[in-house]
Structure 1
Amino acid sequence: MVSASDVDRLFLQAVLSRGVMSSKLAQLLWEKSIEAVNSSNDDLKLKYSNDKQSWDAFVAKINRSLDKLQLEFRALHDELTGKEMYAIVNRKDDEIAQMATDYTPAEITFFKAVVEQIILAPHEAYSVSSIAALRELTAAKITITKAQAEVVLASFVAKGWLLKSKRGRYSLSTRALLELIPYLKSSYPDDIIECTICMDILTRGIACFTPNCTVRMHLHCFNTFRKRNNGCPSCGNDWPRDVRDKKLVPVGEEAAKEGDDRRRHVRLAEGEGSDEEEEEEPLTQDSPPKKAARGKGKQRAAEREDSMDAEDDDESQSTQPTQSTQRTRRSTRR
Structure 2
Amino acid sequence: MSDIGDAAYDNTHRAFLQCLLARQTINFAEAKPILATIQTAQTPDRPTLSEDISQADFEHYVGTINTSIALFDLEIKSASHQVSKERVWALVNTASDALTQMATVHTPDEIAFVKRVLDAMFETYNTERAEIMAILSTQALKLHKPPAGEQRREYVNQTQSGAVAAPSVAITQSQAQHILDLMVQQGWFELSAKGYHSLSPRALLELRGWLVDTYNEQGGRESDEEDEDEHVKIKFCAACREIVTVGQRCPSLKCNARVHNHCTRNLWRSQGGREECPTSPPPVGEKAASQPRRRTNGSDARGRQTAPQSDAESGAEDD
Matched residue, 1:68: 71
Structure 1 residues not aligned, in runs of 5+: 43-47, 261-334
Deviations 1:163-204 (Å, cap 9, x if unpaired)?
233443321122322322232133233421111111111100
C-alpha deviation, 1:108, in angstroms: 1.6
Whether 1:156 and 2:196 are equivalent positions in the alignment is no
The one-letter amino acid of 1:125's match is I
C-alpha deviation, 1:246, in angstroms: 4.3
Whether 1:180 and 2:222 are equivalent positions in the alignment is no
Alignment check: 8 A CA contact 2:77 2:89 kept: yes
Whether 1:14 and 2:19 are equivalent positions in the alignment is yes
The DSSP-based 3-state class of the residue aligned with 1:250 is coil
CA distance in 1, matches of 2:186, 2:296: 38
Whether 1:37 and 2:37 are equivalent positions in the alignment is no
Alignment of 1:27-176 (within 5 A): 27-39=32-44, 50=54, 52=56, 54-120=57-123, 121-122=126-127, 123-136=130-143, 137-139=145-147, 140=150, 141-176=168-203
C-alpha deviation, 1:66, in angstroms: 1.9
CA distance in 2, matches of 1:257, 1:78: 20
Deviations 1:60-88 (Å, cap 9, x if unpaired)?
32123222332221111101121110121
Matched residue, 1:25: 30
Q: Residues 31, 183 of structure 1: CA spacing in aligned structure 2 closer, same or farther, 3 A cutoff?
A: farther
CA distance in 2, matches of 1:150, 1:74: 30
Whether 1:5 and 2:10 are equivalent positions in the alignment is yes
Matched residue, 2:259: 217
The DSSP-based 3-state class of the residue aligned with 2:29 is helix
Matched residue, 1:275: none
CA distance in 2, matches of 1:95, 1:4: 27
CA distance in 1, matches of 2:174, 2:46: 55
CA distance in 1, matches of 2:265, 2:307: 13
- Residue 199 (structure 1) aligned to one of 229, 241, 256: 241
Q: Residues 191, 55 of structure 1: CA spacing in aligned structure 2 closer, same or farther, 3 A cutoff?
A: same
The DSSP-based 3-state class of the residue aligned with 1:112 is helix
Alignment check: 8 A CA contact 2:28 2:58 kept: no
Structure 2 residues not aligned, in runs of 5+: 1-7, 151-167, 217-231, 283-294, 299-303
The DSSP-based 3-state class of the residue aligned with 1:81 is coil
Q: What TM-score comes out, normalization by structure 1 length?
A: 0.63
C-alpha deviation, 1:115, in angstroms: 1.2
C-alpha deviation, 1:251, in angstroms: 4.7
CA distance in 1, matches of 2:242, 2:190: 19
| Alignment RMSD | 3.3
Alignment check: 8 A CA contact 1:207 1:251 kept: no
C-alpha deviation, 1:117, in angstroms: 1.5
Q: Residues 240, 178 of structure 1: CA spacing in aligned structure 2 closer, same or farther, 3 A cutoff?
A: farther
CA distance in 2, matches of 1:30, 1:86: 14
Deviations 1:269-317 (Å, cap 9, x if unpaired)?
xxxxxxxxxxxxxxxxxxxxxxxxxxxxxxxxxxxxxxxxxxxxxxxxx
Deviations 1:115-168 (Å, cap 9, x if unpaired)?
122122222111123343233323244331223212222332333322233443
Percent identity, please: 28
- Residue 309 (structure 2) aligned to one of 238, 247, 250: 250
Count of paired positions: 249
Q: Residues 104, 27 of structure 1: CA spacing in aligned structure 2 closer, same or farther, 3 A cutoff?
A: same
Deviations 1:15-69 (Å, cap 9, x if unpaired)?
2233311133335533443332122799xxxxx77353x5444323212322233
CA distance in 2, matches of 1:83, 1:247: 27
The one-letter amino acid of 1:134's match is L
